[in-house]
Amino acid sequence: VADSPDVILKNGLNNRYRVLEVSVRQRNGSDPEKHLTITASPSLEDTELCILRNGWESVPVVPGDIVHLEGECSSGTWVISAQSGYLVLYPDLLLSGTTISSSIRCMRRAVLSERFRDSELGSPQMLIGTILHDIFQQAVTNDLTQEKVQELANKIVYGQKYLKEMYLLNLKQAQIMQEIEEYLPSFFKWAEDFMHNPANQNKMQLKLSNGGKTEDVSSKIEVVDILDIEENIWSPRFGLKGKIDVTARVKIHCQSGVQSRVMPLELKSGKESNSIEHRSQVILYTLMSLEQRVDPEAGFLLYLKTGTMYPVAGARMDRRELMKLRNHVAFYLTHSTYKSDVGRQNSQLAALPPVIDDSQTCKYCSQMHNCFLYSRAVEQKMASVAFPPALVPVIDRETQHLKPSHLEYFSLWYLMLTLELQSGEHKKGYKNIWMTPSLEREKAGDCVGNVIRVGEVHEVSEGQYLHCFQRRNGAIPGTNLLVGDRVVVSGEEKGLLGLATGYVREVSATKVSCLLGRNLSNFPKNTVFRLDHDEGDVGTGVPFKNLSKLMKDCPVSERLRNLIIDFQKPLFIQHLSSVLPPEAKETVANILKGLNKPQKQAMKQVLLSKDYTLIVGMPGTGKTTTICALVRILSACGFSVLLTSFTHTAVDNVLLKLAKFKVGFLRLGRAQKVHPDIQKHTEEEICRSRSIKSVTDLEEVYNSQPVVATSCMGVNHPIFAQKQFDFCIVDEASQISQLVCLGPLFCSKRFVLVGDHQQLPPLVLNTEARDLGMSESLFKRLEQNQNAVVQLTVQYRMNSKIMSLSNMLVYEGKLECGSEKVSNATVNLPNLKKLKLDLGDASKTWLKEVLDPDTPVCFLNTEKAGCKPSDIGIISPYRHQLKTITDLMAKWKESRVEVNTVDKYQGRDKSIIIVSFVRNSTDENLGSLLKDWRRLNVAITRAKHKLVMVGCVPSLCCYPPLEKLLCHLQSQAMISFFSIIHKCNIL
């Protein structure tokens, strides 16, 4: 935490102070105080003092922390006390209203829920609650008459919107409608009691300040206008976020006259408890509202079952206690790991907030499993953590199905995931939206600011609004925003953060259009917006969820634990006859005809497997063809198949091939991410074209195809909670993080991983996590069970010379060419003769040599030439190099040549590949990129006919993989020297 370079310090509305020193002052007799030496200057010079008293001294603040202060500051001294001021710890970590209110009862649960976000399954009551919210919100903004509300309820319950959830919970629409109808009379009662109406006689106690003095009297409350529903507020002042069910203009008639205020209404469909949790939520909304408007001082709790409305005052005392609670939760979330002061600087997992000793509460807790798991695997080893004695046997009993190896796996992966999460937050995070002006952020290309909305807003489908934005003056600046990227729309003005989120639909020189989740047409025409690229915190929830699931006490998880953690030997049956139905024999035989020997072997191995098979797909060995054939064979045998990969593109690559055969499949995942030719197989498209409107129909769609395809992250889909597949195939498996790869395996009896661990591994940002082994894919881990491995060694991409490099480097000669044709293929250069004439000049003989089709592999040594490596290239390990090359190519108006990183080229090929290795110095600072055998292997196995590598031989010999390659090239006389080159205008 101490020296994060990207911390922005400043004063003002979103002031950010760094805490330099913390001291506790105990004056005799009086309460203790905490004195903080703080600074808002980046040089850390101008310091101020912050005094915490009346309970604020309990805030767990330490030197190095970033805080936001609210309240009075006089002559460089802030006082945060019972009466005034707030200290907000880590204010850029926005916590939701529900997280904080749930932490009142159990902070441990609140913290666990942030990590294991999706572990809570949901219940019928929750779904009914969501639907009731929707109906009420729409009704209150349009029409609250009986007829209209009934119509609306029908439209929503019998519409498409909640079908998935109903399917997941096994509920029928009629059941839901029955429950909903019981609520509707209360809607009208509420409207009669509180909507603007002279006959309205309601009276309630409401405490509001009025010109300095506080009145505590009965007031008549009238809702005069609904300003917004589901208003999203991000408050970097208080470190809070949340969505307000209903934002209303309310008239309060009291003795001293009429007041008008904009206030939050919180809807509840459950028991009319008026509980502290419910009230706290409202109080937090009153605080968040300060971000946008004057203090509402109070809000309302509206219980939909009875139509009763309770006023909730946002009293100073309650706000203060809730903010302290928020600081504690923020502390635990930020300090989830620590480095011990003694010994090596290894990160360790910290204790969670203590377990509460309340069996009544724990009995119903949705985080119980994770709570006990963490106690057993992590905390029981800590001397500092004491458990309530009665709980120890409970924890042991609930985790007794886990072996020590499982607990170790859990704590190691929990640590690695946490470290990686922290790295991700550092790099991404939303805080730039409020801490960095759009103009500055535009330079990095992650933002387009200063735009206004133009044209009409179109509701493309339910809850999807197409907006168009134009720069206020001039063209849209150069940006990295691409079609399909996620964006956050905010107002440039303070307080209008995160107004909507959505996707980029189109980017041109003059406008950006986005599909947003909210309609922004109610904002004044002249509102100035900014669009920020939303990198979000994707992929953090899924692995935590899968880790938790792997530790469950159920047969599926137990089997996976045995196979994956304990390396139980995968089993195979003896004879194909027992799996191959007689009627499928001919079809299977026909499919096999089109395959080579190792591919056939792979098919056989999969069919015989009882647990899993690993298919090593070396470069160009026809992985897609093999997977396609495998799916065809499996479905011919009557098996159901779940087909997944890390990326949507890879899933669609197989599907595009599969679509040519008579194999039906269902494609899940966001239609926008799916290949146009596959669109018609997506759930979205099928439901639209067949206008699916009932749970039964949806179920039919889900069960209609024996093959289901989606990305590994997409396995949160409700279908996977209900269906079991016979086989699961995971493509690109060597590039998928272990726990992400695990997701689809929970719903399948057997699995097949396809990959090549000699190519690039999963990306891990955090170096410590990487050192702990986080980049080990499941494919790599299981590869030690050699009996489950089949290798595809016959390749159809590279000619023999190019292939030989990789064979020498990593594959130990196992790769072979699929045919003579492949082996001898050379590049076709129709204009070569003409070009050669032009190159008559003797100084350009090197170029002749390089271009000669009979020289498939060539390494250009730039040592003597002294030319800048940046003059030539197509693939490079470095982004900067690519930028230089792209700029040069643009100058020559050449945009057809694809310039990209090695990493991005994985999985693809071209006829000619030029690799620019860039480095031209022999100093000690070696980059780590070129030390990776796998990256080099990827780089040299992309070319089919001609591979030209450019680099400085002595410089590159410092890297072991390149040294081995260059040695080989030298022995084969494949290295040339540049003559004098100033310009290169080939291609």
Partner DNA sequence: ACTCTGCATAGAGGA
Name the residue nearer to DNA (CB basis): 602 or 914. 914
CA-CA distances (angstroms) from residue 746 to 551, 725, 976? 12, 10, 54
d(CA 12, CA 25) in angstroms, rounded, equals 28
Q: Does 117 bind DNA (CB under 7 A)?
A: yes
d(CA 492, CA 531) in angstroms, rounded, equals 9
Name the residue nearer to DNA (CB basis): 57 or 652. 652
User: Coil, strand, or helix at residue 336?
Assistant: coil
Q: Does 104 bind DNA (CB under 7 A)?
A: no
Name the residue nearer to DNA (CB basis): 836 or 904. 904
Q: Give the DSSP letter string of 487-542.
A: EEEEESSTT-TT-EEEEEEEE-SSEEEEEESS--TTS-TT--EEEEE--TTTTSHH
Which of 9, 51, 126, 832 lies at the binding interface for DNA (CB under 7 A)?
A: 126
Which of 275, 337, 562, 976 lies at the binding interface for DNA (CB under 7 A)?
A: 275
Number of amino acids touching DNA (CB under 7 A) = 75
d(CA 670, CA 656) in angstroms, rounded, equals 17
Tokens for 855, please give them.
């020289």
Q: Give the DSSP letter string of 934-983.
A: HHHHHHHTSEEEEEEEEE-HHHHTTSHHHHHHHHHHHHTT-EEE--S-S-
For residues 599 to 618, the per-residue mask of contacts with DNA, x marking binding by CB under 7 A and - elsewhere, is --------------------
Could you tell me if 106 and 365 are in contact, meaning their C-beta atoms sit under 8 angstroms apart?
yes
Name the residue nearer to DNA (CB basis): 37 or 130. 130
- Binders of DNA among residues 343 to 382 (CB under 7 A) are 360-361, 364-366
We find the least distance from the C-beta atom of residue 746 to DNA, in angstroms, to be 17
We find the least distance from the C-beta atom of residue 633 to DNA, in angstroms, to be 27
Could you tell me if 333 and 111 are in contact, meaning their C-beta atoms sit under 8 angstroms apart?
yes
Tokens for 68, please give them.
């936001």
Name the residue nearer to DNA (CB basis): 130 or 380. 130
d(CA 296, CA 708) in angstroms, rounded, equals 51
Which of 538, 967, 986, 987 lies at the binding interface for DNA (CB under 7 A)?
A: 538
- Within 13 Å of residue 460, how many CA atoms lie on the same side as its CB? 14
Which of 103, 173, 219, 269 lies at the binding interface for DNA (CB under 7 A)?
A: 269
Q: What is the SS3 assignment for 18-47? A: EEEEEEEECCCCCCCEEEEEEECCCCCCCE
Q: What is the SS3 assignment for 435-497? A: HCCHHHHHHCCCEEEEEEECCCCEEEECCEEEEEEEECCCCCCCCCCCCCCEEEEEECCCCCC
d(CA 562, CA 547) in angstroms, rounded, equals 14
We find the least distance from the C-beta atom of residue 757 to DNA, in angstroms, to be 16
The secondary structure of the chain in percent helix, strand, coil, rounded to multiples of 5, reads: 40, 25, 35
We find the least distance from the C-beta atom of residue 242 to DNA, in angstroms, to be 3
- Binders of DNA among residues 309 to 338 (CB under 7 A) are none
H/E element holding 361?
Answer: helix 359-363
- Binders of DNA among residues 237 to 266 (CB under 7 A) are 241-243, 245, 266
- Within 13 Å of residue 302, how many CA atoms lie on the same side as its CB? 31
Of 117-125, 190-198, 393-401, 778-786, the window that binds DNA (rule: CB under 7 A) is 117-125
We find the least distance from the C-beta atom of residue 640 to DNA, in angstroms, to be 21
Name the residue nearer to DNA (CB basis): 85 or 951. 951
Which of 59, 132, 152, 419 lies at the binding interface for DNA (CB under 7 A)?
A: 132
Name the residue nearer to DNA (CB basis): 61 or 774. 774
Which residues lie below 8 Å from residue 440, measured CB to CB, with a gap of 6+?
A: none
Could you tell me if 531 and 491 are in contact, meaning their C-beta atoms sit under 8 angstroms apart?
no
Beta strands of 618-743 (E only): which ranges? Answer: 641-645, 665-667, 707-711, 725-730
Which of 55, 71, 354, 539 lies at the binding interface for DNA (CB under 7 A)?
A: 539
Of 173-181, 439-447, 533-541, 612-620, the window that binds DNA (rule: CB under 7 A) is 533-541
Q: Does 527 bind DNA (CB under 7 A)?
A: no
Tokens for 531, please give them.
């669009």
Q: Does 267 bind DNA (CB under 7 A)?
A: yes
d(CA 675, CA 680) in angstroms, rounded, equals 10
Residue owning tokens 């090695």: 902
Q: Does 302 bind DNA (CB under 7 A)?
A: no
d(CA 923, CA 35) in angstroms, rounded, equals 49
Name the residue nearer to DNA (CB basis): 443 or 662. 443
Name the residue nearer to DNA (CB basis): 30 or 360. 360
- Binders of DNA among residues 666 to 685 (CB under 7 A) are 669-670, 673
Q: Does 18 bind DNA (CB under 7 A)?
A: no
Which of 85, 91, 97, 239 lies at the binding interface for DNA (CB under 7 A)?
A: 97
Of 591-599, 779-787, 826-834, 923-931, the window that binds DNA (rule: CB under 7 A) is 923-931
Name the residue nearer to DNA (CB basis): 612 or 646. 646
Name the residue nearer to DNA (CB basis): 653 or 799. 653
Which of 71, 491, 495, 517 lies at the binding interface for DNA (CB under 7 A)?
A: 517
We find the least distance from the C-beta atom of residue 504 to DNA, in angstroms, to be 11
- Binders of DNA among residues 684 to 743 (CB under 7 A) are 711, 713-714, 716
Q: Does 445 bind DNA (CB under 7 A)?
A: no
- Binders of DNA among residues 647 to 666 (CB under 7 A) are 647-649
Q: Does 105 bind DNA (CB under 7 A)?
A: yes
We find the least distance from the C-beta atom of residue 244 to DNA, in angstroms, to be 7
We find the least distance from the C-beta atom of residue 926 to DNA, in angstroms, to be 6
- Binders of DNA among residues 485 to 514 (CB under 7 A) are 485-486, 501
Name the residue nearer to DNA (CB basis): 11 or 423. 423
d(CA 127, CA 180) in angstroms, rounded, equals 11
Q: How many CB atoms lie within 10 A of CB 376?
A: 21
Tokens for 446, please give them.
């992650």
We find the least distance from the C-beta atom of residue 358 to DNA, in angstroms, to be 10
Name the residue nearer to DNA (CB basis): 144 or 765. 765
Name the residue nearer to DNA (CB basis): 111 or 563. 111
Name the residue nearer to DNA (CB basis): 215 or 776. 776
One-letter amino acid for residue 482 of the chain: L
- Binders of DNA among residues 546 to 605 (CB under 7 A) are none
Q: Does 625 bind DNA (CB under 7 A)?
A: no
Q: How many CB atoms lie within 10 A of CB 638?
A: 12
For residues 401 to 440, the per-residue mask of contacts with DNA, x marking binding by CB under 7 A and - elsewhere, is -----------------------x----------------
Name the residue nearer to DNA (CB basis): 119 or 596. 119
We find the least distance from the C-beta atom of residue 98 to DNA, in angstroms, to be 4
Name the residue nearer to DNA (CB basis): 38 or 128. 128
Could you tell me if 667 and 683 are in contact, meaning their C-beta atoms sit under 8 angstroms apart?
yes
Name the residue nearer to DNA (CB basis): 456 or 924. 924
One-letter amino acid for residue 270 of the chain: G
- Binders of DNA among residues 863 to 922 (CB under 7 A) are 877-880, 901, 903-904
We find the least distance from the C-beta atom of residue 243 to DNA, in angstroms, to be 5
Beta bridge partners of 707: 641, 665
- Binders of DNA among residues 29 to 88 (CB under 7 A) are none
Tokens for 682, please give them.
């997506």
Q: How many CB atoms lie within 10 A of CB 648?
A: 22
We find the least distance from the C-beta atom of residue 648 to DNA, in angstroms, to be 5
